[in-house]
A and B are shown apart, each in its own frame.
Chain A
Amino acid sequence: MPKRTDIQSVLVIGSGPIVIGQAAEFDYSGTQACRVLKSEGLRVILVNSNPATIMTDPEIADATYVEPITPEYVEKIIAKERPDALLPTLGGQTALNTAISLHDNGVLDKYNVELIGANVEAINKGEDRQLFKGVVEAVNAKIGYGESARSVICHSMDDVISGVDTLGGYPVVVRPSFTMGGAGSGFAHDEEELRRIAGQGLTLSPTTEVLLEESILGWKEYELELMRDRNDNVVVVCSIENFDPMGVHTGDSITVAPALTLTDREYQNLRDVGIAIIREVGVDTGGCNIQFAINPEDGRVIVIEMNPRVSRSSALASKATGFPIAKIAARLAVGYTLDEIPNDITEKTPASFEPTLDYVVVKVPRFAFEKFPAADATLTTTMKSVGEAMAMGRNFTEALQKALRSLEKKGSQFTFTGEPGHKDALLATAAVPTDGRINTVMQAIRAGATPEEIFDATRIDPWFTDQLFLIKEVADDLAAADKLGPELLADAKRHGFSDIQIGEIRGLREDVVREVRHALGVRPVYKTVDTCAAEFAAKTPYFYSSYDEESEVAPREKPAVIILGSGPNRIGQGIEFDYSCVHASFALHDAGYETVMVNCNPETVSTDYDTSDRLYFEPLTLEDVLEIVHAESLAGPIAGVIVQLGGQTPLGLAQALKDNGVPIVGTSPEAIHLAEDRGAFGRVLAEAGLPAPKHGTATTFDEAKAIADEIGYPVLVRPSYVLGGRGMEIVYEEARLSSYIAESTEISPTRPVLVDRFLDDAIEIDVDALYDGTELYLGGVMEHIEEAGIHSGDSACALPPMTLGGYDIKRLRASTEAIAKGVGVQGLINIQFALAGDILYVLEANPRASRTVPFTSKATAVPLAKAAARISLGATVAELRAEGMLPKTGDGGTLPLDAPISVKEAVMPWSRFRDIHGRGVDTVLGPEMRSTGEVMGIDSVFGTAYAKSQAGAYGALPTKGTAFISVANRDKRNLVFPARALADHGFELLATSGTAEVLRRNGIHATIVRKQSEGTGPDGEPTVVQLIHDGKIDLIVNTPFGTGGRLDGYDIRTAAVSRGVPCLTTVQALAAAVQGIDALNRGDIGVRSLQEHAERLNAAREG
C-alpha cells in the first residue's frame, strides 16, 4: 500500500522544553519524522516551544512555530495553516495530551484535521489504566496468557484507603493517570506514605485518577518496542531488560538490550502478548512500547503498561539497533507499509523484520541530586534522572564499563583499590536503589559478599550479578599479575576496563598504561551497528569499539573533521550543545569534509546515524577519543578535531588531546586556558582595560573574611574548578561566610574558594559572538530579566536587549572584541557582563558554544554554530558573509528596530523532587543552575513574547484573579509599580503584613493574609498556604530573604509548585509578567512561523 494521496500537509507537535522524563529523545524523533514527511513532499507544519531543538531549525519543517504547546496556541496555528492531518505520536506525552484536548474540544473536527499515527480511541485505551486493563484481559482471552497486576482505580482518598484492603495490604504502588515519566507515582509501605503519594497523584493527574496496584517489587522488568502498519504487519524492534528489578522507573534503571536472561519460550510469550496488545489497542500505524514484569520464581508475566507513541525507550531502541523507529513511524503514518520501506542500514532488505544484535547495549542514567541536596535520592517509580549515557560492546561487561565511564561523573567507574567497607553495611545500602547502587554492589562483592547475598539484597538477576563477579575477578588478576602482559591486558580490555582503571589497580598513570598497551598492540577495533548481526552488508558507518579481532572502518578520501559531542544530558550541559555539534556536522559536510561524530548520548540528534558521515557511539574520555582519532587516521586524512561545540566535556579534553598530537581546530587549548584560568583571564582583562568585579581567593575563613571585608558584602562565593555554578552562593553576612567555608568539602589549600564582589541590582547581559582572528560578528546580546546573581541558565532573557541603548551595545561590542582577541578565539565565544550603575563588568568568558547559541540563532535567523564550525576550519567572517551564511552587513548587535522580540525562559524540575519527608524542594533561583530546559517566546512586542514564554514553560499567565505578594525588604521599593499595574488589571491583591503595609502607603489596596507560621486564625482564617492548596490564588510573587537552606517562604513556593500556580521569585520577573498580562488583556495574540519572522527580518536587513 503506497503513500496516501489525500494528505498534503501535516502538523507535527513537538514535546516542548526539556524536563525530567521528556528530553532530547523527542527532538531526535521529531526531527526524523519532519525530515521524512518533508521528503515525501508533504508540507510540514511544526509547533515546539523549545528553541534548543534541531527540529525547530527553519529548514527542517516548512512552517516552524516556536509557540507554546497549549491547545489555545495550537488551535491558532491550525486555523492559520489548515493542515490535513495532525501527527501527535512523536512529541511525547505533551503532544499526545495536546492532541487529545484538541479532539475533545472539537477543534480537530472544526478544521477537519485527521489524527494520524494513533486514533483517540487507541490513545485512550493505551493510556487509561482501566481501559488498558480491559485490553490485557481481552488479550488473555484470545491467546491464553498475559495479565495485569491486581489493581483498583481511585478517584478520591477514600477510594485509595479502602483500595489497599482489596489488594491484600501494603506495600502498594500508586500510579496517577495521564502523567509523563511516571510523575507522582511511588510505593507506599504504610498509610502515611499512601496518603502523601496518592494525594499528590490525584492532584497531578489531569483526570484526578490514580491506580493502586499489587506490589511486584523485585521482579524482573522488560520492555518491548513494537511497530505496526496499516496492513496489520507487526514487528518487535527491540527487547530491553532492566538491570535494576521492578521498583525503579525504567528511565532511572540501568537497562540492557537485547534481553539477556530469557529463554526463547518466555521471550516469545512476551512477543505474542505485545503483538496482541498493539492490535487490541488499535495502534494502526506507528510504534508503541510495552513494559512487562516477570516473577523470577515461577515466570508469571504481568503487563505493566504501554505507551501508544514513540518514547524515550524507542529512541534508545533505535540507537541500540539501528532501526529508526520515529522515521519509520512517520512513513507508516502517511500510508506506507513496513515491507515497502527499505532498511536504511542494509538498503537491500525491508523494514518488515526484527533487528538482531551481535553486541550488547547498556544504558545508564545520569542524576543531578547534587543540585538538589534536600531531595530524597532514593529511586522509585517516579523518574528523577536528567540524562543518560549508552554504550555498546561485544559483551555485557565491556558495554557496562564503557557506559559507566560515559557518565563522566566522579566515582561512576568501578574502583578496585582502597578498603571496600563492611560487607553487611554495603549490602544494606545496596538494598535501597539509589544513584550508584551498582558501585555499592561491586564494593560488597569486594568485601566478600556471595552471589546469593547480592541477590537477596538487591534481587538483581544472578546472571548480571555473576558478570559483576567476573569484572571483579579480572581486576584481581590485574592486581596479582607480575606484569601487564598482552593477554592480561587484552582480557581486561575485553571486559571494558579503562586505562585509568587499570592504572589505578597497578599504581600506574593512565598514559603509562596506554603506552604499554600500544606497545603490546592491544587496541580496539570498530564494529558496525547493522540491524542484522552481519547477515547482510551494512552501508551506514555507525560504529562502536570493542577489543575484538577485526575492524570495519573503511578507508576514505576526503579529509575528516571529528566533532566531539557533549555526552549525557545534565543540568548545565544539555541539548543546546548537541544542537551546535549537529549544526557543525551539517555545515562541514556541505563544505566538503567527511564529518565524524563522537557521542554517547542516545537521546540526541547527533547520535542519529543520519546526521554525520560517520558516527562513533563511544564514551567521551581521553582514551576513547584518542583511539577513534587513531582509527580514523588509518582511514584517511584528518583535518582536525572540534572541541568547542559540545560544552565543557570536550573542552576539558582539548589540552590532553593536543598533548597527544591530535590537531584541535578552532580556538586553541592555550586560548581556552586563558579564558578559564582566573589569573590568566584577569591579565587579559587588564590588558584590554576592562573591569571585573573585585575578587580574591582564600583557603581559610580568615582569608575569606579579609577579602569580603575589603570588597564589601554581599559576596559571591564558590569553590574553584567546578561547573554549572555548583556550590555557588551569594553571602550577605559574615556568619554565613563562616558556615559556608566550614560546610564546603571542596575547599582545601590546593582548591581555594573564590570570593567575588556581588553586584547587587546589576543587569546581567549575555553575549554570543564569532571571531575569526580579525573580525568580530556579534551574534546576539541578551538582557537577563532577573538580576545578576541568578545563574544565566536559570534566568529569563530577552533578545534584542530591552533596556540597553546604542551606547551600551557599542561598549559590549568593543569589550567582546577585546576579549576575543586577547584570548585568541577562533570560533564562538560567550561572555557574561554585568551593568551596575554605569560600569560594564566582565563576569566570565567561555571560548566555546554556549547554552544560548540555539536561542540566539533562532532569534536572529543566523546559524551561529554552523558559522563557528566553518571559522574553526579557516573560513573568515567576510567569506561567510559573502557565502550568505552570515548576513551581508550588520550583525546581532544591529538588529532593525522592528525585529521580533525573543524571550527565553528556563524550566525548572521542582515538581520532580521531594525531600525524605515527602515535602517539595525549594524553588528559589540562585547562582547554581538547576533548570533542565528552556522555552522561547517570540513576538513583535516584549509583553506578548514574555507571556508566550511563560505559557510555554509553566502554563499561561493569569489575566485576572487573585495575586498573593510577599517580598523581601530590599525588593519593596521596586514592587510598587508592577503591583499597581496588577491592581489596575483587576487583580485582587493579598499580601503578608509587611508587604501590605508598603503597598497601602502607596495607595494600593492589599488584603493581609496569615503567614504559614501564624497558623489558622481564631475565626478559621486560612493561611496563605491553605489558600494556595484550595486553589484560591492565581499568581504568587514571593522573593526570598534570610539565609541557610530553609528560606522564608519555602512553604509558599513548594505549595505553588504542587498546585501548579505561577510563582515569581524576583521583582524583575513580576515586572515582565505585568507586561505579559497587559498584552494578554489587550487580546488577540497571534502566531507567526520562524520562516515568516526571518523573511521580515531579512527584508528589514536588506532595506
Chain B
Amino acid sequence: MTTSTQRADRTPAVLVLEDGRIFRGRAYGAVGETFGEAVFSTGMSGYQETLTDPSYHRQVVVMTAPHIGNTGVNDEDPESSRIWVAGYVVRDPARVSSNWRARRTLDEELVNQGVVGISGIDTRALTRHLRERGAMRVGIFSGAGIGTDADLLAKVLQAPEMKGADLSAEVATKESYIVPAIGTKRFTVAAIDLGIKAMTPQRMAERGIEVHVLPATATVEDVYAVAPDGVFFSNGPGDPATADHPVAVMRGVLERKTPLFGICFGNQILGRALGFGTYKLKYGHRGINQPVQDRTTGKVEVTAHNHGFAVDAPLDTVSDTPYGRAEVSHVCLNDNVVEGLHLLDQLAFSVQYHPEAAAGPHDAAYLFDRFVSLMEGQRA
C-alpha cells in the first residue's frame, strides 16, 4: 500500500470537445495538454490493458467505470511496452493501489509516461454526449497557462481527425521478433503487427505456435521468408481505408491460399481485400460486454471490443469475391454490425473483436483453436 495522494493537490483541468462542450475537473496523471479522438470504453476491469492497447493510439479514452486505478499497475498485464492513449478521462481515480501484484499507482505510471488526464468530471454526461453526437476531437488542458475557452476550442479544432488517419506504422514494431511456442512447437505463424497486443501472440504460443511478429511495412516476401503455416493480421489504430499496403499484402497471402486469421483491424483489411468497404461507426464499440453471435453455431459469446470502424458487408447473403465465396460469420447483436468474415472456399477468417481478450472475457478463445485447425487441415 502506498500513501494517499493529498486532497490538497488539485490542479484544475479542462476538457474541450470540438463541438464546444466543456467539462471542468482536476488534472490526473501528467499536467499539460493533449489532443485526440474522444471515445468511451465501458469495461469495468482492465484499465491497464486498455491504456497499453496500441489501437487506442491518438484517442482520448473516457472510462465509464467511475473508479479507476484501484489495483494499481503491475508488470504482467500491459499489452505493449507503453501507454498509447492520447489522454485519459476518469471520474474517481484511486488514491492507493491494492493488489498483491501492484508495483506502482496508476497516477505515478501516467505521470512517468507523460499521459495527460482529467478526473472529477461527469463522465456519464460526456459519454451520453459522445453517444448522441458521435466520437469527435477533444483536448485536455491542465496546469499553468490554460487559455480562454475560445483559445482551447481553436486548438482542438486544429488537431487531426481520426477519419483518414494512417497510424499502424506509428505503433507497430520496427523490427521483427519471435514469440516462441510454449511447449512443443507445432506451427509457424507470420503475424503482421499493425498495433498488435501482447496477449495475441501469447494465445498462439500457448497452442504451440511460434509467432514471427513482422513490422506493418512487411511485404509478401517478408511474410513467406519465415515459411509460415499461417498468416495473422493484427488489430491496430486508424482508418482502415488508408491501409492500402496491408491490404495488398493480405491479397498476396490469399492468392497463395495460406491459412489466414485476422483480428480487428485485420478483419477490416480482410474486408477490403475481398472488395468490401469500411465505414466509421458513430461512436464505436469499446468494452468487454458485447454480445456477438457466431452464425455458424447460433451461440452467443460475450466479447471484448475496441473498434471505431467496421466492414460494410451484406449480412444475409453469400458474396462472391476474387477469392471465392465469403460470408459474414459473426454479428454484434446490439446493432448488427459485422463482427466476423470467413471464406467458404479458402482457409481464411477474421473477427472484428478481440478473442485474445485482454482485457475481457475468454468466450471467443476458440477462434485461436479454429486457426490451429485450419493449419492442421492444410498440413494434412
Where the two chains meet, the residues of A that have a C-beta atom closer than 8 Å to any C-beta of B are 231-233, 235-236, 258-265, 267-268, 271-272, 296-299, 337-339, 348-350, 352-360, 394-396, 451-452, 455, 461-463, 466, 469-470, 473-474, 477, 527, 532-537, 548-550
| A351 closest partner in B (C-beta) | B291
Q: Which residues of B contact A264 (CB under 8 A)?
A: 43, 45-46, 48-49, 77, 288, 358-360
Which of A260, A455, A461, A549 contacts B125 (CB under 8 A)? A549
CA distance A535 to B335 in the complex (A): 11
Of the stretches B89-97, B177-185, B247-255, B320-328, the one at the interface is B89-97
Q: List 14 A-B contacts (CB under 8 A).
A: A231-B298, A262-B71, A264-B46, A264-B77, A271-B362, A339-B300, A353-B333, A353-B334, A354-B302, A358-B42, A358-B124, A395-B66, A463-B98, A466-B95
Q: Across the two chains, which residue of chain A brings its CB closest to B41?
A: A533
> CA separation between A536 and B289, bound complex, in Å?
13
**With A298-B100, A534-B131: A352-B42 Cβ-Cβ less than 8 Å:** no
Contacts of A470 in B (CB 8 A): 4, 7, 95
Find chain B residues with CB under 8 A from A357 CB.
Answer: 44, 65
Complex CA–CA separation, A669 to B123 (angstroms):
42
A395's partner among B43, B91, B127, B358 (CB-CB below 8 A) is B91
Complex CA–CA separation, A335 to B288 (angstroms): 27
The answer to whether B66 and A339 touch across the interface, beta carbons within 8 angstroms, is no
User: A358 to chain B: which residues have CB within 8 Å?
Assistant: 42, 64-66, 123-124, 127
Within 8 A of A (CB), among B66-85: 66-67, 70-71, 74, 76-77
Give the contacting residue for A463; candidates B70, B123, B124, B289; CB below 8 A: B70
> In the complex the two chains form, what is the Cα distance from A268 to B94 in whole Å?
21
* Number of residue pairs A-B, CB distance < 8 angstroms: 177
The majority secondary structure among interface residues of chain B is loop
B residues in contact with A339, CB < 8 Å: 291, 293, 300, 333
Q: Are B128 and A534 in contact (CB under 8 A)?
A: yes
CB distance from B76 to the nearest CB of A (A): 8
Cβ contacts under 8 Å, A259 to chain B: 45
Please determine whether A350 and B291 come into contact, CB atoms closer than 8 angstroms.
Answer: yes
Knowing A349-B333, A550-B128, say if A356 contacts B1 (CB, 8 Å). Answer: no
Does the CB pair B45–A262 fall under 8 Å? yes
> B361 at the A/B interface (Cβ < 8 Å)?
yes
Contacts of B99 in A (CB 8 A): 261, 263
Contact with A along B10-31 (1 / 0, CB 8 A): 0000000000000100000000
In angstroms, how far is the closest chain A Cβ from the Cβ of B314? 21
Query: Which of A260, A473, A535 has the most CB atoms of chain B within a 10 A radius of its CB?
Result: A535
* B134, chain A: closest CB distance, angstroms: 13
Q: Does B357 contact A (CB under 8 A)?
A: yes
Main secondary structure of the interface of A (DSSP, over half): loop
Residue in B65, B128, B131, B293 whose CB lies within 8 Å of A356: B65
- Which residue of B has the minimal Cβ distance to A532? B42
A354-B289 CB under 8 A given contacts A235-B302, A339-B300, A469-B4: yes
- B188 interfacial contact with A, CB 8 Å: no
Residue numbers in B under 8 Å from A263 (CB-CB)? 45-46, 48, 71, 74, 77, 99, 101
**Interface: B243 (CB within 8 A):** no
Given B4, B76, B335, B362, which contacts A268 in the complex, CB threshold below 8 Å? B362
State whether A352 and B124 are in contact (beta carbons under 8 Å apart), knowing that A532-B42, A535-B42 are contacts in the complex: no
Q: How far is the CB of B318 from chain A (nearest CB, A)?
A: 23
Q: Knowing A353-B302, A550-B122, say if A451 contacts B92 (CB, 8 Å).
A: no
CA distance A466 to B131 in the complex (A): 34
On chain B, the residues within 8 Å of A455 by CB distance are 1
A168 to B115, alpha carbons, bound, how many Å? 51
Q: Which residues of A contact B1 (CB under 8 A)?
A: 451-452, 455, 462
Which residues of chain B (287-319) have a CB below 8 Å from chain A? 287-291, 293, 298-300, 302
List B residues at the A interface (Cβ < 8 Å): 1, 4, 7, 23, 40, 42-46, 48-49, 64-67, 70-71, 74, 76-77, 91-92, 94-101, 121-125, 127-128, 131, 287-291, 293, 298-300, 302, 333-335, 357-362
A473 to B42, CA, bound (A): 30
> Judging by beta carbons under 8 Å apart, are A356 and B101 in contact?
no
- A261, A272, A396: residue with the most chain B Cβ atoms closer than 10 Å: A261
Would A360 and B67 be within 8 Å (CB), given that A263-B46, A271-B361, A536-B334 are in contact?
Answer: yes
Once A353-B302, A548-B125 are accepted as A-B contacts, the answer to whether A534 and B96 lie under 8 Å apart by CB is no
Which of A349, A356, A396, A473 has its CB near the most chain B CB atoms (within 10 A)?
A356
Give min CB distance, B56 to chain A, whole Å. 15
- Min C-beta distance of B22 to chain A, whole Å: 11
- Are B128 and A261 neighbours in the complex by a CB distance under 8 Å? no
Assembled-state Cα–Cα distance A463/B99 (Å): 9
From A236, A260, A265, contact of B70 by CB (8 A): A260
Given contacts A356-B43, A358-B66, A549-B122, 5 further A-B contacts (CB under 8 A): A258-B44, A267-B45, A339-B293, A352-B291, A533-B124
In the complex, what residues of B have CB within 8 A of residue A536's CB? Answer: 131, 334
Does B357 contact A535, Cβ atoms closer than 8 Å?
no
Is there contact, CB below 8 Å, between B67 and A395?
Answer: yes
List, in ascending order, chain B residues with CB within 8 A of A350's CB: 291, 300, 333-334
Report if A352-B127 is in contact (Cβ < 8 Å); known contacts: A261-B99, A462-B96, A469-B4. no
**Could you say which residues of chain B place their CB within 8 Å of the CB of A534?**
40, 64, 124, 127-128, 131
Q: By the criterion CB–CB under 8 Å, are A233 and B299 in contact? A: yes
Write the nearest CB–CB distance from B116 to chain A, whole angstroms. Answer: 21
Q: Which residues of A contact B360 (CB under 8 A)?
A: 264, 268
User: Which A-chain residue is minimally distant from B122 (CB atoms)?
Assistant: A549
B48 touches A261 (CB 8 A): no
Residues of A close to B125: CB separation below 8 A: 548-550
In the complex, what residue of chain B is closest to A548 when comparing beta carbons?
Answer: B122
Q: Inside 8 A of A355's CB, which chain B residues have their CB?
A: 289
Residues on B with beta carbons closer than 8 Å to the beta carbon of A258:
44, 65
Q: Are A261 and B334 in contact (CB under 8 A)?
A: no
Cα(A527)–Cα(B66), bound, Å: 13
Q: Taking CB as reference atom, which chain B residue is nearest A396? A: B67
- Closest chain-A Cβ to B212's Cβ sits at a distance in Å of 26
Is there an interface contact between A359 and B66, defined as CB atoms closer than 8 Å? Answer: yes
Complex: A359 Cα to B91 Cα, angstroms? 10
Q: Which of B4, B97, B98, B299 has the most CB of A within 10 A?
A: B98
Closest 3 CB pairs of A and B: A264-B46, A549-B122, A264-B359
Question: Of all chain A residues, which has the CB nearest B45?
Answer: A264
A356 near B287: Cβ-Cβ < 8 Å = yes
Taking CB atoms, residues of chain A closer than 8 Å to B127 are: 358, 533-535
B23 nearest CB across to chain A (Å): 7
- Given A264-B360, A452-B1, A550-B125, A233-B300 contact (CB < 8 Å): yes
Query: Which residue of chain A lies nearest to B284 when distances are taken between CB atoms in the complex?
Result: A535
Cα-based distance from A290 to B359 in the complex (angstroms): 22
A261 touches B299 (CB 8 A): no
Contacts of B91 in A (CB 8 A): 394-395
